[in-house]
Amino acid sequence: MVFIRDILVIFAVAVLVSFLIKSFVVRSFYIPSPSMVNTLQVNDRIIVNELEPSLMPIQHGDIVVFKDPGGWLPNLPQPPQNPVAGAIDSALTFIGLSAADSDDHLVKRTIGLPGDQVACCNALGQLTVNGVPLKEPYITLQPGEQNAASVYFSVTVPKGMLWVMGDNRWNSQDSSRNQDLPGKGFVPESDVVGRAFVVSWPANHWTGLDNYPEVFRGVEDARSG
């Protein structure tokens, strides 16, 4: 009996610790769309650091998970789910090993921070941030296409907002594609759940997620200057 009691106590403590970590430190999400290909594949699972932006500021190039700012995602009916599978998924979501609400969130790369001037495209088809052209090795373009975005734009990111874009530039509901909405395509920093820092599943996709600081080198200086 003592052995069984100890096992139950250990299990309860493990669940509690996992829940606390999920609530305040890290959380798992899955990727439901191809908007971040080739960096992230459909059905990849990622681990998100929830300390950013609450304790650590978001940086250029960070891949962030955020709640739909309003109208970015289609209103799709929820498919029927087996009650047993639903209960298991809810339990795993509670302790942070699943993400039942992934379909209500988006995953994009941070291109513009508050105060930045972001535009597309220059004569070479590149994005510019504060006039600095970006050479982006992580993006996927349509065959024969050189522009780093599917629409032209020139914006200044307001205080408390972000400008985000998918790496699969011509197949992503990102800031550039949502400028006609009330939010003008900007994402409130308060809607950010955290920064994705690793692909955790499947095992053959395991990798850390880079924010490519060399791509954005000089952008901060150009803004302050």
Strands 117-120 and 153-156: antiparallel
- Give the three-state DSSP class for 4: helix
Element (H, E) at 208: strand 207-208
Give dist(CA 22, CA 48) in Å, integer. Answer: 9
Give catalytic residue positions: 35, 108
- Cα distances from 199 to residues 12, 35, 85, in angstroms, run 27, 15, 24
Strand order in the sheet with 153-156: 132-133, 127-129, 117-120, 153-156
Q: Which tokens is 132 given? A: 């600095």
Give dist(CA 62, CA 25) in Å, integer. Answer: 17
**Residue with token string 């992230």:** 40
Strands 105-112 and 117-120: unpaired
Give alpha helix (H) positions in the chain.
Answer: 2-24, 83-94, 219-224
Give dist(CA 129, CA 172) in Å, integer. Answer: 20
